[in-house]
Amino acid sequence: MKIGKIRLKISPIILVVGGFFAILLAIAYILGRDSTLLVWGIPTLILLMIMPLGLNYLSQKEYADVRPQYEREARSVRIKLINLNMVGEPVRIEGVVEKVRFQFLNRPQYIVADRSGEISVKMFTHPGVTIKVGDVVEVLGMVMKRYLAAGDAIVNGVSIKKIDKVVEVKPQAKGK
């Protein structure tokens, strides 16, 4: 589904939850034959599906609105140099995606590495393109702590996009 330039994506978990409650509603109606269940249940099921789409739209729109600001203000840094003293600073990193997690939740987390190290990039909404392991990407985001009170530095990704760059990988020594 697309609204304007924003491509919405519904999480498979939302579909499973909606299907589960639709089955429960059908069973309750068949057993009880009470039409008020349908009067309240069907609109509730519709809201159960529409609300996550609305939140996804709002997140996508907000990220699209702040992306130009990050493109202007973010400074390019090597991953090794990102630390807790940089919390709150916009950064631009380039690297290879080593791991992808939580895409099915529409809240993907990427492990991005360059020659200096690796860092976790958390997105709070799905990016516009599908990012896979091995893709060379450019990330715009803000440095933050992994956990509220403690933890290492990570990047809260505002934008992640594939770039046309070849990353040379050092050949592994034989026997390793």
Rounded CA gap, 158 and 141, in Å? 5
Same domain, 17 and 35: yes
* The pLDDT value given to residue 176: 45
**169 is a domain residue:** no
Q: Average of pLDDT values for 85-102? A: 92
- Calculate the average pLDDT of the chain: 86
**Which pLDDT value is given to residue 164?**
81
Q: What is the mean pLDDT of residues 93-100?
A: 93
Task: Give yes or no: residues 8 and 45 share one domain.
Answer: yes
pLDDT surpassing 80 at residue 145:
yes
Pair 96, 138 in one domain? yes
Q: Taking a C-beta distance cutoff of 8 angstroms, is the pair 137, 93 a contact?
A: no
> Is the pLDDT assigned to residue 126 strictly greater than 90?
no
Residue at which a domain ends, from 72, 89, 110: 72
Q: Provide the percentage of residues in the chain whose pLDDT is more than 90.
A: 40
71 vs 166, more confident: 71
pLDDT at 167: 58
Q: Quick check: 50 pLDDT over 60?
A: yes
| 174 in a structural domain | no
Q: Are residues 90 and 144 in the same domain?
A: yes
Query: Tens digit of pLDDT for each residue in 99-108?
Result: 999 887 888 9
Question: pLDDT category, 46, cuts 50, 70, 90?
Answer: very high
Domain endpoint, select from 72, 87, 103: 72
Assess whether 158 and 78 both reside in one domain. Answer: yes
Alpha-carbon gap, residue 145 to 167, rounded angstroms? 28
Domain count, the chain: 2
Range of the domain at 65: 2-72
**Mean pLDDT score, 132-140:** 91
Domain-located, residue 100: yes
Contacts of 22 (CB under 8 A, 6+ apart): 45
Mean pLDDT computed over 57-74: 88
CB burial of 84-106 (b: ≥16 within 10 Å; e: otherwise) equals eebeeebbbbbbbbeebeebeeb
Task: Give pLDDT, residue 56.
Answer: 84
The pLDDT of 16-40, averaged and rounded, is: 91
Residue 170 placed within a domain = no
Q: What pLDDT is attached to residue 107?
A: 85
Q: CA–CA separation, 87 vs 81, rounded Å? A: 12
Residue 168's pLDDT band, with cuts at 50, 70 and 90, is low
Both 96 and 42 in one domain: the answer is: no
